[in-house]
């Protein structure tokens, strides 16, 4: 988590690319496909870059419900999937993707090396933030796919909940913390250095500015404490681990929106004119919030969990 926060504070895109790599690697490690015997050492050492290709135009941010299908094809299965956002599309070495199961109302996961016949990047990507990403749409039209399946047929939904969600949510929260910390430091730095010469004082000497900086710093500290607590609960599961998996991303995503927004505010025109990098933290922070499971979906799931309703 420290590594992800540190990377994101320096470059949000690099942090997010690394997060997608970890999320893909841990998903493959949960149940390695028999057709990819050497994949784990390559992912672990960084010789191979992984990513997740889950989101679809049809089910949007509801990544747990792919509308694409793994179809029966002779004695094997054929994957036919259109994915709407794939971070590192065209750059990754391994794509972990999802489809509906051919026989049941469940999900299959597959891992495809980039050289697999039938993978294509189908569009450009341009985002308001994370501009170092290539989160483009892709299609997967792959025959004889069963040796690339992660886990048993129909086990994809359980793997998403037990493996993808904890790693992705915690890592995404860590990215939010890194961006929040960078924005807080930049705001303190700028408001301390910027002078109101006619008053012979810095911006940070203004009580309103000081109080905003204090709020940012306290927000950051409490978010970091929650992320640390969630990491401990995920490393050694206890009764409320599920709540932490659901809550940590939503809380850190929202904190990042608040903190980067305040950084823009206290730095004023200096932030707006893009020479402080604060606008970059502000733009980058918005990505984590809408990445699935989105913060608002997580609040909904958390609410279901604490009121005894089934999550899905
Ligand atoms: C920078 C970036 C990188 C990405 N990289 C990847 C990637 O590598 N792999 C991948 O698979 N996907 C990736 N995505 C896609 C991402 O995970 C989401 O699927 C995508 O952002 C959803 O966008 P949408 O407009 O379709 O969301 P929509 O589903 O249309 O959501 C619109 C709004 O409705 C809200 N909403 C939807 N359902 C509910 C609900 N049940 N309760 C409450 N509110 C709800 C959402 O929170 C959101 O605010 C990436 C997205 C971004 C921005």
pLDDT in tens, 110-134: 999 999 999 999 999 999 999 999 9
Q: Is 136 near ligand 1, meaning CB less than 6 Å away?
A: no
CA of 297 to the centre of ligand 1 (A): 9
Please say whether the beta carbons of 104 and 72 come within 8 A: no
Q: Which atom of ligand 1 is nearest to the CA of 287?
A: 53
User: For position 21, what pLDDT does the model report?
Assistant: 98
114 exposure class (CB count in 10 Å sphere: 0-12, 13-18, 19+):
middle
Q: Is 54 near ligand 1, meaning CB less than 6 Å away?
A: yes
Pocket test for ligand 1, best of 15, 85, 250, 280 (most atoms within 8 A of CB): 85
User: For position 89, what pLDDT does the model report?
Assistant: 98
What mean pLDDT, rounded, does the chain reach?
97
Q: Is 85 near ligand 1, meaning CB less than 6 Å away?
A: yes
Average pLDDT over residues 236-247: 97
Return the residue whose CA atom lies nearest to atom 23 of ligand 1.
61
User: For position 307, what pLDDT does the model report?
Assistant: 98
Q: Is 52 near ligand 1, meaning CB less than 6 Å away?
A: yes
Return the residue whose CA atom lies nearest to atom 40 of ligand 1.
297
CA of 195 to the centre of ligand 1 (A): 42
User: For position 204, what pLDDT does the model report?
Assistant: 98
Q: How far is CA 156 from CA 64, 84, 110, 112, 298, in A?
A: 9, 19, 9, 15, 20
- Over residues 32-87, the pLDDT tens digits come to 999 999 899 999 999 999 999 999 999 999 999 999 999 999 989 999 999 999 99
Q: Is 195 near ligand 1, meaning CB less than 6 Å away?
A: no
CA of 56 to the centre of ligand 1 (A): 10
Average pLDDT over residues 279-308: 98
With 90 as the cut, is the pLDDT of residue 164 above it? yes
Q: Which of 8-12, 36-40, 213-217 has the lowest mean pLDDT?
A: 36-40
CA of 62 to the centre of ligand 1 (A): 7
- Over residues 252-272, the pLDDT tens digits come to 999 999 999 999 999 999 999
User: For position 110, what pLDDT does the model report?
Assistant: 98
User: For position 76, what pLDDT does the model report?
Assistant: 95
With 90 as the cut, is the pLDDT of residue 161 above it? yes
Global pTM reads: 0.97
User: For position 241, what pLDDT does the model report?
Assistant: 98
CA of 15 to the centre of ligand 1 (A): 18
State percent of the chain over pLDDT 90. Answer: 98
Average pLDDT over residues 86-105: 96
Confidence of residue 275 (pLDDT cuts 50, 70, 90): confident
User: For position 138, what pLDDT does the model report?
Assistant: 98
With 90 as the cut, is the pLDDT of residue 219 above it? yes
Q: Which atom of ligand 1 is nearest to the CA of 83?
A: 11
CA of 275 to the centre of ligand 1 (A): 30
User: For position 38, what pLDDT does the model report?
Assistant: 87
Average pLDDT over residues 216-241: 98
State percent of the chain over pLDDT 70. Answer: 100
């Amino acid at each position: 988590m420290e590594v992800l926060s540190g990377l994101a504070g320096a470059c949000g895109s690099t942090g997010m690319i690394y997060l997608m790599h970890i999320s893909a690697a841990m998903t493959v490690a949960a149940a390695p496909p028999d057709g990819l015997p050497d994949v784990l050492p390559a992912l672990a050492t960084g010789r191979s870059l992984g990513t997740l290709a889950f989101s679809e135009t049809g089910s949007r941010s509801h990544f747990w419900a792919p509308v694409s299908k793994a179809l029966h094809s002779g004695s094997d299965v054929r994957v036919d999937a259109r994915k709407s956002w794939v971070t590192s599309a065209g750059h990754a070495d391994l794509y972990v993707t999802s489809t509906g199961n051919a026989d049941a109302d469940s999900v299959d996961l597959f891992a495809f090396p980039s050289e697999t016949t039938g993978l294509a990047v189908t569009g450009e990507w341009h985002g308001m933030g994370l501009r170092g990403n290539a989160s483009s749409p892709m299609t997967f039209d792959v025959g004889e796919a069963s040796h690339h399946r992660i886990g048993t047929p129909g086990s994809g939904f359980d793997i998403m909940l037990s493996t993808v969600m904890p790693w992705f949510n915690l890592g995404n929260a860590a990215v939010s913390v890194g961006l929040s910390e960078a924005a807080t430091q930049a705001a303190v730095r700028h408001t301390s250095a910027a002078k109101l010469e006619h008053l012979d004082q810095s911006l940070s000497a203004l009580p309103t500015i000081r109080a905003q900086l204090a709020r940012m710093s306290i927000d950051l500290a409490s978010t970091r404490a929650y992320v640390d607590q969630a990491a401990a609960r995920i490393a050694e599961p206890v009764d409320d681990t599920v709540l932490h998996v659901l809550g940590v991303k939503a809380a850190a995503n929202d904190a990042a929106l608040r903190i980067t927004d305040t950084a823009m505010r206290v730095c004023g025109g200096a932030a707006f004119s893009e020479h402080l990098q604060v606008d970059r933290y502000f733009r980058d922070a918005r990505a984590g919030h809408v990445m699935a499971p989105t913060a608002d979906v997580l609040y909904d799931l958390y609410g279901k969990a604490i009121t005894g309703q089934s999550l899905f």
